[in-house]
Amino acid sequence: MSLAMSFQVNRAEFQLQVSLELPDQGVTALFGRSGSGKTTLLRCIAGLEQLPGGSLSFQGQVWQSADEFVPVHLRPIGYVFQEASLFPHLTIEQNLHYGFKRIRAAERRIGFDEVVELLSLQDYLTRYPDQLSGGQRQRVSIGRALLTSPRLLLMDEPMASLDATSKQEILPYLERLTEELQLPIIYVSHAVDEVMRLADYMVLLDQGQVQAQGPLQALLTDHQLPFARSEQAASLLKAQLVDTDAGDGLAGLQLEQQPLLISQTHLSPGRLSPITLGATVKVTIMARDVVLARQLPEAISLLNALLVRVVALDTDLDKSQVLVHLQLGEQALMARISKRSAGLLQLQPGQQVYALIKGVAVNS
């Protein structure tokens, strides 16, 4: 079961040619620079663009083919736009009910109270949209989309019009949504930090073409793609929380059988509920925050040293830097170090080294 599609868009200034089979679970990010065709593709999936030659099926149901086109209002989708489009003359409760009452009771997959609680909307129900902040309004828009009991949620840069503070406020709700609802989400974004926090799978669009697609972890470390080559290159790894109090304000993760200590502060601030013991935690490690050593150094202030194997060295990034691809159990880690250091360490593929970690960001 999946979301399979093929679309061609021929506009005077822009062509899109896409053929994709996407997972029908988790969060898939449509990522690419402005004008690459993300919104156009999302609109094709929604049925907002009806173009000849396209095809689309979701979990075995045909939504578009040569002789069939299911109109947008008959597709079980929720659509969240860049700007919250709430009815100004209705209260938040009435806005939420607008989508909810269109769905027959027997077909409802999520309850009104459940959505209100999921998005913490209790305090806003009697207010009007202009009495809420941009981030709060966007939470209501997401709630309204969920109350139509969609089987697929389409989100078009839902945080694009928000300031940094509102983004930080809404991100935990998006994370909660992805964790608690068994609802596949297609999420358009051009912000890599957002994608790293939320997505499992990524489609990279460039000038209307699919440049790459795959699990996010793999795409971030692919040396042919811009992520790994940039100064912001980062690896995304999955670890387990095994100790909520490892002393001195630290918590312990297990990453591929090796310990990784993080600050306990990562476990709760900015989250709606703290990470619990045994939970899988996504950690991001910037390539420039990884120091390599051939021996385990003594008397050093860094706490985390992971035994890894060198897979390959990318030497053509720029004049002075090398990207070292490392294998950590089943997962990939990258280190961005100077060419001079790589030479002094005589790094070779297959060699075991220690990766000393200067900083870890915890996603969920």
Ligand X SMILES: Nc1ncnc2c1ncn2[C@@H]1O[C@H](COP(=O)(O)OP(=O)(O)OP(=O)(O)O)[C@@H](O)[C@H]1O
Interaction site with ligand X (CB under 6 A): 11, 13-14, 32, 34-40, 190
Helices (H), 148-290: 164-180, 192-198, 216-220, 226-229
Neighbours of 191 (CB within 10 A): 14
CB of 5 to ligand X, least distance (A): 15
Instruction: Output the CA–CA distances (angstroms, integers) from residue 77 to 58, 73, 137, 155, 305, in the order listed.
Output: 11, 8, 20, 10, 46
Alpha-carbon torsion angle 174, 176, 177, 183, nearest 10: 130
Indicate the DSSP class of residue 38: H
CB of 348 to ligand X, least distance (A): 41
State which residue, 18 or 241, has the beta carbon closest to ligand X.
Answer: 18
CB of 82 to ligand X, least distance (A): 8
As a whole number of angstroms, the distance between CA 275 and CA 272 comes to 9
CB of 157 to ligand X, least distance (A): 7
End-to-end CA distance of the chain: 27
CB of 232 to ligand X, least distance (A): 19
Instruction: Output the CA–CA distances (angstroms, integers) from residue 96 to 39, 124, 144, 154, in the order listed.
Output: 25, 11, 5, 18
CB of 146 to ligand X, least distance (A): 23
State which residue, 205 or 239, has the beta carbon closest to ligand X.
Answer: 205
State which residue, 13 or 113, has the beta carbon closest to ligand X.
Answer: 13
State which residue, 34 or 301, has the beta carbon closest to ligand X.
Answer: 34
State which residue, 40 or 95, has the beta carbon closest to ligand X.
Answer: 40
Instruction: Output the CA–CA distances (angstroms, integers) from residue 129 to 26, 92, 169, 226, 312, in the order listed.
Output: 30, 7, 17, 40, 53
Handedness of CA 100, 105, 106, 110 (dihedral sign): positive
State which residue, 34 or 182, has the beta carbon closest to ligand X.
Answer: 34
CB of 39 to ligand X, least distance (A): 3
Neighbours of 184 (CB within 10 A): 24
Q: Which residue is listed with tokens 């297990």?
A: 254
CB of 11 to ligand X, least distance (A): 5
State which residue, 190 or 336, has the beta carbon closest to ligand X.
Answer: 190
CB of 29 to ligand X, least distance (A): 12
CB of 333 to ligand X, least distance (A): 30
State which residue, 30 or 310, has the beta carbon closest to ligand X.
Answer: 30
State which residue, 82 or 230, has the beta carbon closest to ligand X.
Answer: 82
Ramachandran region, residue 211 (left: φ > 0; alpha: ψ -120 to 50; beta: rest) = alpha
Let me know: does 250 contact 244? Beta carbons within 8 Å.
no
Q: Vertex 106, ends 104 and 112: CA angle to 5°?
A: 70
Instruction: Output the CA–CA distances (angstroms, integers) from residue 71 to 45, 77, 145, in the order listed.
Output: 11, 11, 17
Q: How many helices (H) and strands (E) does the chain have?
A: 9, 21
State which residue, 35 or 76, has the beta carbon closest to ligand X.
Answer: 35
Let me know: does 196 contact 236? Beta carbons within 8 Å.
yes
